[in-house]
């Protein structure tokens, strides 16, 4: 007998999409490109906003975003994705966002979106120090000429550090190196970041690093626990944008509480406290859908919704109890122990 076999070959074509940052100092900074129709394309900055930036940074697992003009990171060479992105801020990926047709003919390579960060160097915490920004693939400083509280307020608010309380100049936090990227800033105080403020062109030749600007912001993303028995248990409140607000309990769990307890220099969290334990707060609900790994040094390093965006009421305000003590229950081996958090 003759055996006959029929084989059917199937080819599955998958439409791939994605986002990446190129030309920066790491995978979390650079010029934004999206994968569409099997090619990487730039996005025009007129079609992009802060909520879209938050979605991209969440998709890439890169924390909170800072949005800047593209020329800070070099010019792209490909085509533009000719859509206007209309993110709400709660999407998981950039292509989950609604988008509309947009004429990209007005865009040039100088309009590519770039995402980078400011930083404060040599301060006592992450909210004080010498002001530096990333431009032209290198970090540089800001001249203290006309540097004032209005300019510094923009930066402090942008970094989630409250408001400026001091604007030391003359390189109080040490002299920087490389270029002096900004000089003669003239902020009104309500700009989204320093790149939106009028200033001299990038690269000041009239300033030296003896005049590097610094800032001391009001808080280091201040947290507090209120309405409890002490400073290490209570309703969680965050100081942001000049006022205290609360955190919604959506998705709140022990890794989130662990970050709060560490940031407040308290002991281990006993559990993820239900909101009714410490009563409702008032004012803003600043954060919702917080997702920490548990090893972050600050709650602001965790993924979360856009500041002030939530679907909660104050009866859902989260509380934290950081009065636990980590004890060893049983040593399984030299390298493995069974642990328990014991409430004091």
The least confident of 36-45, 226-235, 260-269, 333-342 is: 333-342
22: left (phi over 0), alpha (psi -120 to 50) or beta: beta
Listed in sequence order, the DSSP H helices in 60-161 are 149-158
Average pLDDT of the segment spanning 36-65 = 73
Matching CATH number, 18-115, of 2.70.170.10, 3.10.250.10, 1.10.287.70, 3.40.190.10? 3.10.250.10
CA distance 236 to 225: 5
Question: pTM of the prediction?
Answer: 0.42
* Backbone phi and psi for residue 311, each to the nearest 5 degrees, phi listed first: -130, 40
**Phi–psi pair at 334, nearest 5 degrees:** -60, -30
Partners of 118 in beta bridges: 133
244 touches 257 (CB < 8 A) = no
Are the folds of 118-217 and 223-327 the same? yes
Contact 231, 225 (CB under 8 A): yes
CATH code of the domain made up of 118-217: 3.10.250.10
Report d(CA 333, CA 227) in Å as an integer: 42
Looking at residue 296, its pLDDT comes to: 82
Where in the chain are the domains?
18-115, 118-217, 223-327
What pLDDT, in 10s, does the model give residues 251-269?
Answer: 898 899 988 888 787 877 7
From first CA to last CA, the distance across the chain in angstroms is: 82
Q: Which CATH class is domain 223-327?
A: alpha beta
Q: What is the pLDDT of residues 200-239, one digit of tens each?
A: 765 556 788 999 999 988 765 677 888 888 778 889 998 7
pLDDT digits (tens, 9 = 90+) for 283-297: 899 999 999 988 887
Check residue 318 and give its pLDDT. 92
* Neighbouring residues of 39: CB distance < 8 A, sequence distance ≥ 6: 78, 79
Both structure tokens of 226: 């209120």
């Amino acid at each position: 007998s003759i055996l006959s076999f029929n084989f059917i070959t199937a080819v599955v074509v998958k439409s791939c999409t994605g986002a990446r940052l190129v030309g920066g100092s790491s995978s979390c900074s650079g010029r934004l490109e999206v994968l569409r129709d099997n090619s990487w394309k730039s996005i025009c900055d007129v079609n992009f906003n802060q909520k879209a930036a938050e979605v991209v940074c969440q998709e890439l697992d890169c924390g909170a975003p800072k949005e800047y003009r593209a020329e800070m990171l070099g010019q792209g060479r490909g085509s533009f994705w000719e859509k206007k992105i209309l993110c709400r801020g709660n999407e998981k990926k950039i292509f989950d966002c609604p988008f509309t047709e947009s004429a990209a003919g007005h865009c040039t390579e100088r309009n590519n979106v770039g995402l980078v960060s400011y930083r404060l160097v040599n301060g006592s915490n992450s909210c004080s120090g010498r002001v530096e920004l990333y431009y032209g693939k290198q970090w540089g400083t800001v001249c203290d000429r006309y540097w004032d509280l209005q300019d510094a307020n923009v930066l402090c608010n942008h970094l989630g550090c409250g408001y400026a309380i001091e604007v030391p100049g003359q390189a109080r936090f040490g002299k920087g190196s490389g270029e002096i990227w900004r000089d003669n800033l003239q902020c009104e105080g309500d700009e989204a970041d320093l790149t939106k403020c009028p200033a001299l062109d990038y690269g000041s030749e009239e300033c030296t690093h003896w005049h590097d600007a610094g800032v001391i912001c009001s808080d280091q993303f201040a947290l507090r626990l209120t309405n409890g028995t002490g400073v290490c248990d209570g309703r969680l409140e965050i100081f942001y944008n000049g006022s205290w607000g609360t955190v919604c309990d959506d998705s709140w769990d022990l890794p989130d509480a662990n970050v709060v307890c560490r940031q407040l220099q308290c002991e281990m969290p006993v559990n993820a406290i239900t909101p009714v334990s410490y009563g409702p707060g008032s004012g803003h609900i600043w954060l919702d859908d917080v997702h920490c790994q548990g090893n972050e040094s600050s709650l602001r390093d965790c993924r979360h919704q856009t500041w002030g965006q939530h679907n909660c009421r104050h009866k859902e305000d989260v509380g934290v109890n950081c009065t636990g003590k980590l004890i060893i229950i049983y040593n399984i081996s030299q390298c493995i122990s069974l642990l328990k958090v014991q409430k004091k």
